[in-house]
Structure 1
């Protein structure tokens, strides 16, 4: 099932973000949702495009992302944009939206990395060496993601942001995404929490709905390095979802059963109890057949309804 609905895009270009799959995922959700939980929310692409009668809870362990979202929710749009502009100006980063590419001796094809490289590293160092968190540094983090390579988010073992400089800056498209995202989270009853899914204190009941998009056990991304997601986490999550099912709470789980020659045997065995829908990059839905081996990546939505 697909729709022509215009979906809002997150202000963060999160690896594994579900914006491109929303037209397949959201129509498969229940029609009437009391409270909605976006577990492992990442860039919150799903949460900002779902309607619920009660609250929308965004849960993620990435503290910096949750801090940013709370800052964007509570801070006026004018203050957010003024602070971002001042950060860009103070560190002499490019502002092609205002001045174009020629001012910096760059063009759109080669990108802005050569001009921004040392300036970006100074901003990144100042962020990593900050004495404490603040609204200002939440927006510095956002600027780092905008000017960083492929807009990725990654922290090393010391907790330092370590993505290198990228080719783009705070251009018109990025600004529009940020504007629309802020409008959505200010209007909707969204609450952002930084917590491990095993330590959540949400008492979900019948009529509530939980969507889970965890790190994928058989694929690697910047958010899942340093053994961030192992078979233990996988089994703990599946047990948690089984408990929701036993309590009459509907859930949907995004994951991959097969990826580049590997298969998630734990998930395949568990999924036999539930309904499995294939989500492919041609945006076609079909019922999953266990014998299907055609695609390199078999991305699925598993539901208990």
Structure 2
């Protein structure tokens, strides 16, 4: 049984944790999750030391707050906010009042509560980094399952070292054989609220893929194992750069066979399949 993070973060890998666990090295000294997102991979991989990074500092600050507080304090503060602001599945006015309050105060736990009651539990911001996800009427709340996931998550991240910077700025020079880096960046072929360049964060492009693969090549030269998740075909478009890079470097391409049902509604009836892969140097 695998642990699930208390987020519904776009691109999360919870449904393929079993595939990844079987693919990843068994004895990891230092594990670096270069684009940790909601942390589903982070909390399910065993390693002596764990480092988790994401450029979305809003998300990392929530995790740091979970880490700083006792789990009972976390739950108490969440329930207090829900009661204080009258948040529920039907009261849109209460949600929008609380959203306005958060955008003035920017407290990490308040953001988590907002996400719990927002549409599809999404993290969405405008160019001023104001949370702008709409109300999740009759759908979203801080459910019992989220509560259970949160309790286990808080304990599982106790010893994680977090950072919130561009992947190019993550310190990797000290890594050595026996360490492992997992890269699950935004995908060039797909576009969502996390990589469209319109949400207060820089978008993702081929230039970023080029920089990331160069970093992975340097890790390979040092004998550091890596795994790199991406998409090489989506809606009829292909991404030959990744396939060519992997073949040129004699890396291994592992193809996934999984259907993500929890996607944006407008993308569910796709005419073309998506081919997702994990590229490894071992």
Same fold (TM over 0.5): yes
1:278 aligns with 2:255: yes
Q: Name the CA distance, whole Å, in 2 between partners of 1:70 and 1:29.
A: 26
* 1:230 positional shift: 1.2
Residue 229 of structure 2 aligns to a residue whose secondary structure is: strand
Q: Report the counterpart of residue 24 of structure 1 in structure 2.
A: 19
Runs in 1 of length 4+ with deviation above 3 angstroms? none
Kindly indicate whether residue 155 of structure 2 is the aligned counterpart of residue 183 of structure 1. Answer: yes
Match of 2:4 in 1: 9
8 Å CA contact 2:236–2:272 kept in 1: the answer is: no
Report 1:1-305 matches (<5 A): 6-53=1-48, 55-94=49-88, 112=89, 115-130=90-105, 133=106, 137-166=107-136, 167-186=139-158, 189-202=159-172, 203-226=174-197, 228-272=203-247, 273=249, 274-281=251-258, 296-305=273-282
Distance 2:56 2:170 in 1: 15
Shift of the 32–201 alpha-carbon distance from structure 1 to 2, 3 Å rule, reads same
1: CA distance, partners of 2:142 / 2:46: 30
Find the aligned partners of 1:116 and 1:303 in 2 and give their Cα distance: 47
| Alpha-carbon distance in 1 for matches of 2:124, 2:218 | 32
Looking at structure 1, the residues matched to 213 and 176 of structure 2 have their Cα atoms a distance apart, in angstroms, of 18
**TM-score, scaled to structure 1:** 0.83
The structure-2 alpha-carbon separation of the partners of 1:242 and 1:164, relative to structure 1 and needing over 3 Å to count, comes to same
Ranges in structure 2 where 5+ consecutive residues have no aligned partner: 261-270
TM-score, with length taken from structure 2: 0.90
Q: Distance in 2 between matches of 1:29 and 1:38?
A: 12
Question: Tell me, which stretches of 5 or more residues in structure 1 are unaligned?
Answer: 1-5, 95-111, 284-293
- Identify if the C-alpha distance between structure 1 residues 282 and 157 changes in structure 2 by more than 3 Å, giving closer, same or farther: closer
For residue 101 of structure 1, what is the aligned residue in structure 2? Answer: none
Asked which structure has the greater CA Rg, the reply is 1
Provide the rounded CA distance (Å) in 2 between the counterparts of 1:247 and 1:298: 30
Classify the secondary structure of the residue corresponding to 1:222: coil
Partners in 2 of 1:295 and 1:44 — Cα distance?
A: 29
The structural deviation recorded for 1:282 is 6.3
Cα 1:261–1:295, aligned 2, differ >3 Å: closer, same or farther?
closer
Give yes or no for contact 2:181–2:226 (8 Å, CA) kept in 1. yes
Give a deviation string over 1:92-143, Cα, whole Å, max 9, x none. 112xxxxxxxxxxxxxxxxx2xx3211111111111122xx5xxx1110101
Mapped partners of 1:25, 1:262: distance in 2: 25
Q: Distance in 1 between matches of 2:91 and 2:14?
A: 29
